[in-house]
Chain A
Amino acid sequence: MDRRRFLASGLMLGCSAAASPLLTPVALASAPWENRLVVIILRGAMDGIDAVQPVGDRDYAGLRPTLSMVEERTELDGFWDIHPALVPLMPLYQAGQMGAVHAVSTPYRDKRSHFDGQDILEAGTVDLSGAAERDGWLNRMLATVPGIMAETAYAIGTERLLILNGQTPVSRWSPDARLSLSPQTRLLLEVIYANDPLFHAASEGALRIMDELEAEEHGDEARLQGAHQQLAQFAASRLRHDSRIASFSLGGWDTHAQQHQALPRALTRLSETILTLQAELGPVWDKTAVICITEFGRTARENGTRGTDHGTGGAMIYAGGALRGRQIAGDWPGLAEADLYAGRDLMPTRDVRAHAAWVMRGLFGLDQSVLENAVFPGLDMGADTRLVL
């Protein structure tokens, strides 16, 4: 190829760019639903008992002599207090757009390994048999719906989120994968990928995402600082357009020691993440459900290093205009010795998958039989959790 042919191909590129969806509004196939679902995976096992504190339970203070000492309490009702680091979410709570479900867990029991617990949480199965072809429950859900495009669901971050792995094509993007290229380099990328459809399609996709992000950042929306806020900001940028599902994870929950220092950091990030989603989604927030799930809870008793160890039952925090907030839902089992699981953990009284299933039924109108067979095989969804408005 010589320079003249290159220029010609550049001109042709200019022509095709004029017809690209970036510059002219092209009607894309409409997404199957209007509602949005964000699933945030809290890796490391969030201490539900500290995030949403059962101060009205008579055994609570005894089990947590130091962790229950808080300088300023924020009561939700007579029974529940919210952790101080979640107080920034109180306006959402008061507006009925944030709440929690307590004493939930996956079917995973006893070994309390993060690794297996997270795999089961994302696989949505009872155990990990047939581990080699594992897929995730969000991907299986998408597989039951006609008209899904890769753009419909986004796995966000550098990790390979198991929850969205599977047969249905999904999009993946990490805010770390930024491309700033000179105009000349962009033209040359066209040249070097011209004869390779796979590379060509991927580079087009990458450049489109970058262009959309840049176009949006020209306004007063500066790029947010924290990595967790960048995840939320990117998720919102997709959900405002054609995407309906987004998932990413937040770490820092494994608070074996000095929990009064470690947990506020993680909860603050979670608060900021949810508030970023709310702010960036704008009016779309009203059609959005955010559920925050974790692999298991932590021990009911605090340990000798002012922390908590791996447990069983925990809490699911949720938010979004599509959900019924201002409540701590769930069937509270109590913290008396006899009420604990294996004498040490909060007893799970509901499968967290049932909550996820009812949320998807409410948001997307999926059949219960589909949810109980294809999405969460073998799950008994039980009575409606009524989280969706």
Chain B
Amino acid sequence: MPFDPDLCAIRFGTGLSPLVPAPGSSAEVLAILAGPDHAAEAWHIPPYAVATPSLDALRLANMARREVADTPEVAAAEAAYDELARAHVEALAHNVKATIARKIGTSDGLRERLVMFWSDHFTVRAKTGFLRHLVTPYVEEAVRPHVNGRFADMLKAVETHPVMLAYLDQTNSMGPNSVRAQRRDRGLNENLAREILELHTIGVDGPYDQRDVRQLAELLTGLGLDRQGTVYRSDHAEPGGETVLGVTYSAEANLSTVEAALDGLADHPSTARHISRKLAVHFVSEEPDQGLVDTLTARFVATDGDLLEVTAAMLDHPAAWVPERQKVKWPLEFMSSALRALGIAPEMIMTMEARHVRQMLQGPLAVMGQPWETAPGPDGWSERAEAWITPQGLAARINWAMHMPRRITEDLPDPRDLVSTALGPLASEEIVFAAGAAEDRAEGVGIVLASADFQRR
């Protein structure tokens, strides 16, 4: 295989680093990915189940302060709420810091990249402020444990997760003929069912139609939330069995019926093709080599969606190593790979104050076009280079590259050294020259990080 350690770190990892050596072989990269998740251990993010403040605690505190408005107890209720609100802000900053620290400190960069890929595939967005700090914990709980496991397991974890149910309106869906709908003027919401088929599994060009959407939506009606989390609500469930893509599921439904339907969709050959193409598009090219997509699809089918195997098939395929770096890093990748190349210690990020996180990381990400965990729709962030390298998007990247590194560290590298740290032999003649021709160290660092060389992968 045409393995190249520098290209591997840039295209399939979180970038080159002066502190962490580039991988030696694809086999080594895959063995690390198959092993324990050291980065998650080193830079902890609580999974949703134990993340605080919980959605329930925030709701209760908010209700409490409204109930006692205009009474003497209001001050205590407001104080209790404010404390949770502060914890919520701190938790959000912690999520940003730990996510970036993992990317800059890890020896297992492919795992971070896969977490980003899959959390984008299963995009959620906080519809209420109360959920904003719980999006990363959703990823930690439902996505991250499965990036080297089975697709079906990730699918089931994600589609039954409280954050996904809230995002795609499942919490309000009920069967038109359910016990509940007889009493209230509400009905079916197809949103989750539609996105499962269109985005998460079969793909928009796949062999399903509106009847399948409707049937799957009816099958999902039992799925909902109570204060503790996901539950099966029999009184919301549409009576009778449902048929999705030719498979009929029992009328005696419960949570395992929902899981069986998701297993069925995970097994569908169109899902294998949809996922395989999406992986190739994300990692390699907007117009990926058909042989690469076919190989991934075949491996997906042969291994029942074993994602470690599918990822290995990608690293084993020559088309994945095409020397031309066609993709542009997303803003979060750009920023974290820049910090990694600069040799910033993860601890330096972890100890940043929340307001600095907003000024130096979150704010600039938004100007670059990628506000933290708020993708424009359920289809996630764009894979098109043109969507990111716009006048505004590029100006924000250049601006950050020129001004933020010197605010984050006093210890900037010599720009000429940074070129070889960050790009190795992949550096172009122009960037080698420009790094040496800058007026001062900070501008030289900025030029290297702002270069197309550095921003492509």
Contact = CB atoms under 8 A, between A and B. Distances in A.
Interface of A: 1-3, 6, 111, 113, 115, 128-129, 131-134, 158-160, 162, 165, 171-174, 176-179, 181-182, 184-185, 188-189, 191-196, 198-199, 202-203, 205-206, 208-210, 257, 304-305
10 contacts: A132-B199, A132-B204, A158-B369, A160-B369, A172-B392, A192-B430, A193-B451, A206-B398, A257-B69, A305-B66
Given A179-B398, A182-B439, A198 B379 contact: no
A177 B368 CA distance: 8
Nearest to B382: A160
Given A132-B199, A162-B376, A165-B376, A185 B392 contact: no
A352 B48 CA distance: 40
B371 interface: yes
A181 B450 CA distance: 12
B5 interface: no
Nearest to B453: A192
B70 interface: yes
B439 A173 contact: no
Nearest to A205: B391
A191 B198 contact: no
Contacts of B395: 177-179, 203, 206, 209-210
B6 to A, nearest CB: 19
Contacts of B190: 129
B172 A181 contact: no
The residue among B199, B328, B395, B447 with the most chain A CB atoms within 10 A of its own CB is: B395
A198 B386 contact: yes
Interface of B: 66, 69-70, 125, 127, 172, 190-191, 194-195, 198-199, 204, 328, 363, 366-367, 369, 371, 376-379, 385-386, 389-396, 398-399, 402, 428-431, 433-434, 437-439, 443, 446-447, 450-453, 455-456
Contacts of B402: 181, 185
Nearest to A209: B391
Contacts of B389: 198-199, 202
B391 A134 contact: no
A111 to B, nearest CB: 7
Contacts of B450: 189, 192
A189 B394 CA distance: 11
A180 to B, nearest CB: 8
Contacts of A134: 377
Nearest to B380: A132
Contacts of B194: 129, 131
Given A185-B446, A192-B430, A304-B70, A176 B367 contact: yes
B127 A113 contact: yes
Contacts, number: 139
Given A159-B371, A182-B439, A192 B391 contact: no
Contacts of A257: 69
A1 B69 contact: no
Nearest to B386: A198
A185 B390 CA distance: 19
A382 B396 CA distance: 44
A174 B392 contact: yes
Contacts of A113: 127
Contact of A185 (B66, B433, B443): B443
B434 A188 contact: yes
Contacts of B69: 257, 304-305
A184 B434 CA distance: 10
4 smallest CB-CB distances across A and B, nearest first, come from A205-B391, A206-B395, A196-B452, A206-B391
Given A179-B398, A195-B430, A188 B195 contact: no
B392 A206 contact: yes
Contacts of B70: 304-305
A199 B394 contact: yes
A172 B394 CA distance: 11
Contacts of B390: 172, 202, 205
Contacts of A177: 367, 392, 395-396, 399
B399 A178 contact: yes
Contacts of B433: 1-2, 6, 191
Nearest to B369: A160
Contacts of A305: 66, 69-70
B378 A132 contact: yes
A289 B438 CA distance: 47
A127 to B, nearest CB: 10
B367 A202 contact: no
B430 A191 contact: yes
Contacts of A159: 366, 371
A6 B390 CA distance: 26
Contacts of A193: 451-452
Nearest to A132: B379
A252 B412 CA distance: 40
A94 B195 CA distance: 51
A113 B433 CA distance: 54
B127 A115 contact: yes
Nearest to B69: A305
Nearest to A196: B452
A258 to B, nearest CB: 10
Contacts of B386: 198
Contacts of B367: 158, 174, 176-177
Contacts of A188: 434, 437-438, 443, 447
A246 to B, nearest CB: 14
A199 B325 CA distance: 13
B335 to A, nearest CB: 15
Nearest to B190: A129
Given A194-B430, A199-B452, A131 B378 contact: yes
A128 B376 CA distance: 13
B394 A195 contact: no
A192 B434 CA distance: 7
B394 to A, nearest CB: 4
Contacts of B127: 113, 115
Contact of A202 (B125, B366, B394, B456): B394
Contact of A199 (B195, B371, B439, B455): B455
B399 to A, nearest CB: 6
B439 A185 contact: yes
Contact of B191 (A2, A115, A131, A133): A131
Given A192-B434, A203-B394, A208-B391, 16 more contacts: A113-B127, A131-B378, A159-B366, A172-B391, A172-B393, A173-B392, A178-B399, A185-B438, A185-B446, A188-B447, A189-B398, A193-B451, A196-B456, A198-B452, A199-B394, A257-B69
A131 B377 contact: yes
A3 B433 CA distance: 8
Nearest to A185: B443
The residue among A162, A176, A305 with the most chain B CB atoms within 10 A of its own CB is: A176
Given A131-B195, A174-B367, A202 B391 contact: yes
The residue among A133, A162, A171, A193 with the most chain B CB atoms within 10 A of its own CB is: A193
The residue among A6, A162, A174, A208 with the most chain B CB atoms within 10 A of its own CB is: A174
A192 B428 CA distance: 9
Given A1-B430, A304-B69, A192 B451 contact: yes
A115 B385 CA distance: 27
B406 to A, nearest CB: 14
A247 to B, nearest CB: 14
